[in-house]
A and B are shown apart, each in its own frame.
Chain A
Amino acid sequence: MEYSLKGKIIVGGTAKGMVLSTTQPINFLSSLDHRTGRITDKNHELCGKFLKDSILIFPYAVGSSVGAYSIFALKSNGASPSGIICTLKTDITTASGCAIANIPLLELCKEAVIPEIENSSEGIIDGGYLQIKKV
C-alpha cells in the first residue's frame, strides 16, 4: 500500500527512512541522548527508540529553547532523523534546528490522517509531499 500526504515545506530537501510516529510532543533537550539519538524519557511512548535515519512524525516540540542546538547536535553526531514532519504546528525550535542542520521539515496539513501511519512504514519526503510505503 502506498499513499501521499501533502504538506507545507518549512525546510526544503528530500529524505527517506523508516517512519517513527508519535502523538506526544518531544523536548529535544531533555528527552534524548544526543550522541546516539535514543529517546531516553521514560514518560515518552517512543522511549528506547532511535531517531537515527528515521522520518520522525510528531505534533510539535516543547520545552527548552536549546532544543534547536540539540537537533543540530544530533545531525553532527550522525544520529538525527533523515527528515521531520510536524503534525499539529511547526514550533520555532524544530524549524530553526532543522534549518541549521539541513534536515528537511514538512508541516502536514491534516491532523486526522496521522494515526494511519504505522511505524513499520517507509516514509519519503519529496517536493512538499510525504509518501508512505507499507513494507
Chain B
Amino acid sequence: MDLTREEEDSLNGKNGSSISTAYKILLSIGKATNAEKLIPVEWVHLSGVNYNTIGDAGVEFLTRYSEEAQFVVPTTINPMGYDSHQQNNLSSNFHKQQGKIAKAYEKMGSIPSFSCIPYELFQLPESGHSVSFAESNAAVMANSVFGLRTNKESSLSALASAITGKAPYSDLRIDSTRDPKIRIKIDKELKTELDYGVLGYFSGKSVKESCVSFGSDISNIDMYKTKSLSAALGTSGACGMFSSRDTHEETITFGKEEEKSVIDELNTTDSGDVIALGSPQLGLYELELLSKMIAGKKFSKKCMIFCARSVYEKSCKSGMAKILENSGANIICDACTCLSPLLSREEYDGVITNSVKAAHYLNKSNGVSVSLKDLKSIVMEYAK
C-alpha cells in the first residue's frame, strides 16, 4: 500500500504515538485487503464499548490510548453493558470498568450513542460515500441498504479510522467487490424476521466472499427483517454486504434442511425464563409493531426490550413506551441482548428471543440456553 509522505511521517511517530499506532493498524489491514492507498472516511462507528466483551485488557488499552488520541470525524459508539439510568445487579467492578470505557471514548470525542443502529438515529453521509463501521450489523446495513461504503471493520480498524479520518481503499470500498459473485437461492418460503435471521446465519457460514446476492426475493422486506438478516449474516461470517442484484455465477441453495441445521445449532431449549428482544436494538418501527401486538395484554414472563435511548425518548412522547411498559416489559437503553451481562447464566436458565445474532452470543459467550421464536409466536405464547 502506498502512503503519502505525510502518512509515512505519521506512521513513524512524527505526530505522536497514538496516531502512529493508528497508522500501524491501517497498514496491516491495508496489506491484508490488498489496498493501493488510504482514502478519507466521513463517519466512523465503533464497537468495543461493552466491558463484557473487551475486558480489562481493552479498558487498559483505551484508557492509555485516550490520553493522547482525538477523533477527527463524527464517531458513534456501540452499546455498553447496561442502562446507565436503571438499577442493576452487576458488580461494582463492572460499573467501574464500564465507566472507564465510556470516559475514554468521551475523551476522544465520540458521540455517546451507545447504540448498534446508528443508521436509524443519525443523518449519515449520503449514499456512495465511504465510512468505517465496526459492529457487523451496522456495516452490513450501511453497505446493503444505505449505499455507504465500508469494509467489515474491526473495533480497532474503525478506531484507527476515527483517529486518522482514513481507511484503506479496498474490498467493499471498490465497485467490483460490491458486485456479487455468489448467490443464495432461497428454496423455501420466508415469513418472519426469524426466518430471515436464519437465512443470514446460514449465508454467512456458507460464503467466503465479501458480498452475497439473495436475488430479488429480498428486495421488499421490512426494516425488522432486514436488520435480522444483516445481523445474522455479520455474526456467522466474513461477508459485509448483501445485494438483490442477480449473478450467474456460483449458487448455493437455502432450503428446509439448511434452515434446520441453523435451528439445531442455536435453538438449545424449548422455553426460557425471560424474553429478550432487540439484537440489533429495536428501532421505532419494531416498537410500533410490538406495541400494536401487545396493547391490552400482559407478558406472562419477564420481558426485556433493548433499544437506543433516543428511540425510547421518542416512544415515550408517542405513547408507545407506555403501552409496552403496561404489558410488563422493561425497556432498556444503552445496551443490547447480545453480550449484555444482564442476561447471565447465573440469573437465567434460558432466554426466549427472535434474534439469531443474540442466540449465537447467548449460547456461545454467555453460556445461556436459547429458545428461538418469532415475535408473533412469542406474543401469542407468552402474553394474554
Q: Which of A5-43 contact B (CB under 8 A)?
A: 8-11, 25, 27, 29-31, 34, 40-41, 43
Assign chain A's interface to a size class: 35 or more
A60 touching B208 in the complex, CB below 8 Å, given contacts A10-B31, A10-B32: yes
With both chains docked as a complex, state the minimum distance between the C-beta of B365 and any C-beta of chain A, in angstroms: 5
Total of A-B residue pairs, C-beta within 8 Å: 142
For window 128-181 of chain B, which residues contact chain A by CB distance below 8 Å? 134-136, 139, 151-158, 160
Q: Which residue of B lies closest to A93 (CB)?
A: B154
- A117 CB-CB contact with B under 8 Å: no
Query: What's the nearest-Cβ distance from chain A to residue B81, in Å?
Result: 13
Is residue A4 within 8 Å, beta carbon to beta carbon, of the partner chain? no
Contact B237 A73 (CB under 8 A): no
Binds A, one of B49-57, B291-299, B348-356: B49-57
A83 lies within 8 A of chain B by Cβ? no
Contact A73 B135 (CB under 8 A): no
CA distance A60 to B240 in the complex (A): 14
CB-CB under 8 A from B54, the residues of chain A are 66, 69, 73
Q: Chain A residues near B27 (CB, 8 Å)?
A: 99
**Does B33 interact with chain A (Cβ within 8 Å)?**
yes
Contact of A92 among B50, B154, B364, B365 (CB under 8 A): B154
A61 within 8 A of B: yes
CA distance A127 to B360 in the complex (A): 38
Q: Is B236 an interface residue (CB 8 A)?
A: yes
Chain A proximity mask over B46-70: 1 for CB below 8 Å, otherwise 0: 0110100111111011000000000
Given A95-B28, A95-B29, A96-B29, A29–B365 Cβ distance below 8 Å? yes
Contacts of B228 in A (CB 8 A): none
Cβ of B323 under 8 Å from chain A: no
- Contacts A30-B360, A92-B157, A99-B28: A69 and B237 contacting too (C-beta < 8 A)? no
CB distance A72 to B58 under 8 Å? yes
How far apart are B292's CB and chain A's nearest CB, in angstroms?
A: 33
Closest CB in chain B relative to A51 CB, distance in Å: 15
By the criterion CB–CB under 8 Å, are B47 and A92 in contact?
Answer: no
* Contact of B31 with A31 in the complex, beta carbons under 8 Å: no
Interface assignment of A90: CB less than 8 Å from any CB of chain B? yes
B337-374 toward A: CB 8 Å interface, digit per residue (1/0)? Answer: 00000000000000000000000110011000000000
Determine the distance from Cα of A15 to Cα of B257 in the docked complex, in whole angstroms.
43
A99 near B57 (CB under 8 angstroms)? Answer: no
By a CB distance below 8 angstroms, the chain B residues around A34 are: 55, 57
A92 touches B33 (CB 8 A): yes
A69 near B53: Cβ-Cβ < 8 Å: yes
CA distance A52 to B42 in the complex (A): 39
Task: Write the nearest CB–CB distance from A103 to chain B, whole angstroms.
Answer: 11
CA of A94 to CA of B134 in the docked complex: distance in angstroms? 13
B contact set with A: CB distance below 8 Å: 21, 24-25, 27-29, 31-33, 47-48, 50, 53-58, 60-61, 134-136, 139, 151-158, 160, 204-205, 208, 234-238, 265, 360-361, 364-365
15 contacts between A and B (CB under 8 A): A25-B238, A29-B53, A30-B361, A30-B365, A65-B134, A65-B152, A65-B154, A65-B158, A66-B54, A68-B154, A69-B58, A70-B53, A72-B156, A90-B31, A95-B31
| A contact residues vs B (CB 8 Å cutoff) | 8-11, 25, 27, 29-31, 34, 40-41, 43, 59-70, 72-73, 75-77, 86, 88-100, 105, 107
